[in-house]
Amino acid sequence: MTPYNDIFRLKQQGMNNSQIEHALGTVSRKTIITTLKLAEEKGFVFNADAAMSDTEIHRILHRKKDHDQRAFDIEKVMFELSLPNSTVTSVWNNYKENNKSGYSKSMFQLLIRENREKYTLPAYQSCVDIKYIKNGFSFRNGKKISVLFAKDRHSGKVFFTTAQSDEKTRTWIHALIGLMHQIGALPDCINFVGQLSKKYKAETEDCAGYYGMSVTETPVSKTDAFIQIVNSAMKEIGDISDDSQIWALRLALKEYNTQPLFSGRFNHEDAFECEKQAVLRKLPETDYDLVEYVPVSVQSNRHIRVDGCYYSVPFEYRHEKLMAFLSDEYIQISYLNTVLCTHRRLKPGTGKYSTLPEHVVSDDAVPFGEISGKSLRLWAAKIGSNTLQAIDWLLQKKTYEVQAYKVCETLLHYSTKYTPALLEEACQKAIETNNVTYQFITDYCKNKAFKIFS
């Protein structure tokens, strides 16, 4: 191999071609002239501070037509060699299989040897540091959202996801799972910077165990570099007063992740892709499903209430204290460790009902003194014919009458909250306008009562 570095170094020192030939002793004057001429034609400028290997300079001066297809990123190769179980042969085979390089194996090995001392390879750690910032975002509508930051220790790439600031374990677990999806792969360990809340610890360890990860905690002082990144990112969005803070944070981290990992152009994102393909484990097909245990009581409509939705229970257990096992997909209701029924979970806050047909009984089976369709109609009839007609319509509107018990019972109580005459008038107006709904009757009673007493 022509000693290109020596030729250019001596030329920069002011030596002529003959002096360079004499100083090197192993290079002909013709080779020196050809090298300097090629450098001028290719626009190559030698920089002693950013030294290149002789092989790399040779590739620049003697560039072939397919050189761009043959060349590879030496920094990326050196990073791949730092990954567990990586060898020069395995990396070279990977490049050959993917047509990333036309180098021979011997040339590939030569480039590796020449660059080993040039790059300080990071020690491999299959670990992600996580930092929780409570109420990191504050929006104009008063809503607050927390942020989970994560940094891959080996590649240096930083991720983030958001979590509602409602102090619920389920929200925390969902945010943690979202973070794993944001990363797109599973490390061996997740390390929480600072102390992990006792409230979340058991569920977090259970969730991590599902994905095959261990959980550790590290004092903030030992992760100063990561904390500086987090603080810098939060400071950058701190002056933004509108609701674009999440977008600003995403841009800030994107800029950080495109910074070079070494001195050249090889960045954090490329490094993480190498790591994901080589050693990190894939996410399972199904996510961890947190199961919570909640004691529940059966309401007068013979349903339990969970997150604003209603789930039926067997009629004979309507007076018992039951236990609900809550997951993202299902709600399982049990009594003394015996499973009574299972419902598919409804969207929280919708007020919808999940009623199993086997839980519905006829009015005749309901003991005296308990709410039923029959008792509600008798109550409505005492108030007036319009009230009876409205209650009857509300009961028949539902798939099962039991689903309307709560609404009907509330409306009938308006006869004592306001007056029977006012409720009868509201039901009459609802029937005349063909708008027999809980909302219409409620609004009518409230508005009419307000006018009377104002």
Question: What is the pLDDT, as a whole number, of residue 365?
Answer: 93
Among 113-122, 273-282, 362-371, where is mean pLDDT lowest?
A: 113-122
Averaged pLDDT for residues 59-73: 63
CB atoms within 10 A of CB 223: 19
Averaged pLDDT for residues 392-405: 95
Question: What is the pLDDT, as a whole number, of residue 438?
Answer: 94
Report strand pairing: 127-138 vs 144-152: antiparallel
pLDDT tens digits, 36-56: 888 888 888 888 776 678 888
Q: Domain limits of the chain?
A: 1-63, 69-113, 127-278, 292-360, 364-453
pLDDT band of 166, cuts 50, 70, 90: low
- Do residues 87 and 46 make contact, with C-beta atoms less than 8 angstroms apart? no
- Do residues 394 and 412 make contact, with C-beta atoms less than 8 angstroms apart? no
CATH among 3.20.20.100, 3.40.640.10, 3.30.420.10, 3.40.50.300 for 127-278: 3.30.420.10
Residue 356 has pLDDT above 90, yes or no: yes
Question: What is the pLDDT, as a whole number, of residue 430?
Answer: 95
Listed in sequence order, the residues at least 6 apart from 302 whose beta carbon sits closer than 8 Å to its beta carbon are 312, 313, 315, 318, 359, 402, 405
Residue 210 has pLDDT above 90, yes or no: yes
Question: What is the pLDDT, as a whole number, of residue 222?
Answer: 64
pLDDT tens digits, 249-284: 888 888 889 988 887 778 999 999 999 988 899 999
Can you name the residues that pair with 330 across neighbouring β-strands? 344
Residue 332 has pLDDT above 80, yes or no: yes
Question: What is the pLDDT, as a whole number, of residue 66?
Answer: 47
pLDDT band of 197, cuts 50, 70, 90: confident
Percent of the chain with pLDDT over 90: 43
Residue 339 has pLDDT above 80, yes or no: yes
Please give the residue that has the higher pLDDT: either 85 or 59.
85
- Residue 188 tokens read as 């061996």
Amino acid, res. 348: P
pLDDT band of 223, cuts 50, 70, 90: low
Residue 391 has pLDDT above 90, yes or no: yes
- Do residues 17 and 32 make contact, with C-beta atoms less than 8 angstroms apart? yes
